[in-house]
Structure formats: C-alpha cells, structure tokens
Amino acid sequence: MLIPVLLFIVGLLCLIKGGDWFVDGATGIARRFHVPELLIGATVVSIGTTLPEVMVSTTSALTGHGEIAYGNAIGSVICNAALIAAITIAVRPGKVDPKSLRTPVAFFFVAAAFYAGVAYTTGSFTRPVGLILLAMFVAYIVCNVLAMKNTPAPEEEEQAEEGSFAKELGLLAIGAVLIAVGADLLVDNGTLIAQALGVPESVIALTFVAQDEVVACIPFQYGDGLATLPDLPPVEGCFGEWPDLDYAHLTFSRTLEAVYTPYASALSTGGELPDILVDGSFGGEAKIAHTTQQASWTDAQGRAHTGMATTVTVEDPVMREISYTVHYRLQKQRGGFTLWVETPAGWEERKAQIDGSYLLLQSDSKRITFCVETRQSEAILLVAVVVLCAAVLGCAAWVRRQQKARRHKEKDAQEKSHDE
C-alpha cells in the first residue's frame, strides 16, 4: 500500500511541475514568433493548464478505465468551479465584470447540459458525442479570440529579456514527458489505492424493474459481468424475460424493464392440416421438431414388433413445468391399430384417445417417442374370401339344379303331350 501511495504522490508532482514547464515553454516559443498575447492566453495557456487532466483522462481510457476518464471530466469541473474558486475568493475577494463571463458561462452550461443529457438518456458515450464536445471547445476558443481582438489592447510594458530558444524547447519537451509519466502513475496507482480502500472507480449499477416495481439494483465494477439475473415476478398467462444484453461485460448504468409476453397455446409443424399439433403453454421462442425412424422391440409376452416410430421434441427456453398434449394425424388405413410409447423401461402399450382424425398423447418431458402399429387383418380377409367363394359356388350349384329340374319337367310334359 505504501509504494502505490508514494508513486501516486510522485505522479501528482510530475503533473504539477510538468504543466508549469509546458506552459512556460509554449508561451516563450509563442512570444518568440510574435504570437499575440491574447491568442497565447486563449490557446496555449488554457490548453496547457488543462493538459494534465487531458492526459489523465486519455491514459485512463487507453488502459481500460473509461469510468475514471468520465469521472475526471466531471470532477475537474466541480473542483475548478468550487474548490479553486472558493480558495481564490477566500484569499482575495474581488469584483467581476459580468460581460466577461457571458461567453464562458454560456459554453459551460451548454456543454454540461449536453454531457449530462447524453449520460442520462443513452447511458453511453459514442464517438459522435466526443466530436460534438470537441467542436464546442473549438467554438469556445474562436469566440474567445474574437472577443479579445475587439478588446482594446493594454499598453505594452517593456518585456524582460527572452530566454534561449533551446531552453524553451527543453521546457516544452520535459513538461510534456512529465505530464505523460505523471498521468500514468496517477491512474495506475490511484486505481490500486481506490481498490484497496473499497472505493469504486465510479458508481455503476443495473436497476431491474418489473410491473413498475424495482426488483433489484445491482452495483458492479466497470467491465464486470453478472452471473445470474434476478428472478422475475410471475404474471398469470404470461412468461417474462429481461432484455437481451451482454451481461458478461457491463460498462454503464441502465434501468432494465422486464418484458412479459402471453404464452402461446399451440405449436404445429405447419400446413392447413398439420401432421403434428402440440397443445400447452409456450414462450415466444418455443419450437417443435419431429423425426421418424424404424423401430423394433419385444413386448412383455415376448412377441416381436416392428414399425415406424415418431419422435416429437418441444424446445422452450422459458418452459418451467413440462406438460403438453401431442395431436398426431392418423393416416388412412384399414383395420385397427395399437399405440406403443417408448419409456425408460422400454416400449409400453397405451390406450389410444382419438379426436377426429388425430391421435392424442400426453407428455411430461421435452421428448416423446411413439409408434402406431397397424393390426394384421390378412387372416380375416382370407376367411371372408373363402366364405364368399363358398357362397358363390353354392348359389351356382343351386341355380344349376333348378335349371336341370326345369328341363326335366319340360321334357316330361313334352312326352306326355306326345302320347296323347
């Protein structure tokens, strides 16, 4: 703990001294090239004094601590507007020209309102947002320069003897290096100190809301994830789910509203007259699939059976209690059938329930396999054919006997008539 604290102090000193040297070097070089004083104050000095904060934010963003960069942007404004101003006013109170504050105050409130509005409405900062803020800064510099040009220049005092150009370049370079090193030390060791003290890099949390009530508010560190989501309050006739987000890598606060969708009452394989219908309560992502394959098994009496087995699978991520009814459309067939269902103990014969042209089966698992075995009726058909043939032969024999008897009668009648 001691080493991070010492390195943090060293980084802070490097930032302070590096900022001073950078401003001194940049100002000296600008004066050497006869850059107007107003332009030096509006650009070189203003940028140089904020360069330590810029480097801290840049270093934080590049090292994956974006929340420190955002916090630094807000914290530096609060510090400049409250702490530094308070110390200055406490040490030396003075009057302020209201006209000189119009432009800075206007830009301050516009930038702050835009920053806060984006943060609270979208919960994230994108590159276009950064470009807009950068454009505001450029506009502020331009407005400052134009305002200073219209201000009467004060009488020039005799300038002190300028230093060497090499010294000014050296101050500029050394100041930039110290600022970069100080920012790196400040961010790395500041993060270690905050973690050791249990202070979060920023306050980030996910707020879960269902039916206009807060279910849970879970804080997290930048870049962390949530292993489990809070349970959803049940709503009769509906299934609920939280919004689909990347919960493994969270970077900003959000309020998540639960989405409730009415259960679907039926699934089908499609078509006007589907082969398979499934009745139950299903979520919006529920799917039904079925396959057929040849099956062979032996019943409890040792008799062998073969047939085309059908497997129906219901996939539903939100299904809690598995219970549904399968409607299987029977094909047109002669004779009866026997329903067999595959169980962990083997194939079992079940009593068939018929609803119109559909066979009904109850299932309490995601998958059910069954087979509709057609009863063999060849023997009955053979007997029927034999009986029919016998009847036809009998009728033919009877007709023949009748015809023979009729001929005998006709012959006897003819002989009797001839004798008379």
CA dist 300 and 343 (Å) reads: 14
Domain count, the chain: 3
The reply to whether 168 and 296 lie within a common domain is no
The reply to whether 219 and 286 lie within a common domain is no
> Is position 21 within any domain?
yes
Domain around 22:
2-153+163-197
Domain CATH for 226: 2.60.40.4270
The reply to whether 353 and 235 lie within a common domain is no
> Is position 314 within any domain?
yes
Q: Average pLDDT over the chain, rounded to whole?
A: 77
pLDDT at residue 336, as a whole number: 72
* DSSP code for 150: T
Nearest to 108 by CA among 70, 144, 156, 83: 144
> Is position 409 within any domain?
no
> Is position 419 within any domain?
no
The reply to whether 104 and 12 lie within a common domain is yes
What average pLDDT does the segment 216-234 reach? Answer: 83
Sequence-ordered strand ranges (E) for 13-121? none
pLDDT at 160 over 60: no
Measured in degrees and rounded to the nearest 5, phi and psi for residue 385 equal -65, -40
The reply to whether 186 and 70 lie within a common domain is yes
Judged by average pLDDT, the poorest of 143-152, 189-198, 258-267, 359-368 is 143-152
Cβ contacts of 21 within 8 Å, gap of 6 or more: 171, 172, 174, 175, 178
Contact 226, 220 (CB under 8 A): yes
What is the pLDDT confidence band of residue 16, given thresholds at 50, 70 and 90?
A: confident
pLDDT at 386 over 80: no
- Per the confidence metrics, is the pTM higher than 0.75? no
Contact 417, 409 (CB under 8 A): no
The reply to whether 230 and 300 lie within a common domain is no
> Is position 414 within any domain?
no
The reply to whether 112 and 179 lie within a common domain is yes
Half-sphere exposure of 102 (CA within 13 A, CB side): 6
In three-state form (DSSP H/G/I as H, E/B as E, the rest C), the secondary structure along 220-260 is ECCCCCCCCCCCCCCECCEEEECCCCCCCCCCCCEEEECEE
Helical (H) or strand (E) element with 366: none
CA dist list (Å): 325 to 260, 281, 313, 322, 391: 24, 10, 12, 10, 49
What is the pLDDT confidence band of residue 320, given thresholds at 50, 70 and 90?
A: low
What is the pLDDT confidence band of residue 209, given thresholds at 50, 70 and 90?
A: very high
The reply to whether 187 and 216 lie within a common domain is no
Place of tokens 């032996």: 298
What average pLDDT does the segment 137-141 reach? Answer: 83
Q: What would the pLDDT profile of 230-276 be if each residue is shown by its tens digit?
A: 988 888 778 788 988 888 888 777 889 998 887 777 777 777 778 88
Place of tokens 């134009």: 146
pLDDT at 381 over 60: no
The reply to whether 32 and 168 lie within a common domain is yes
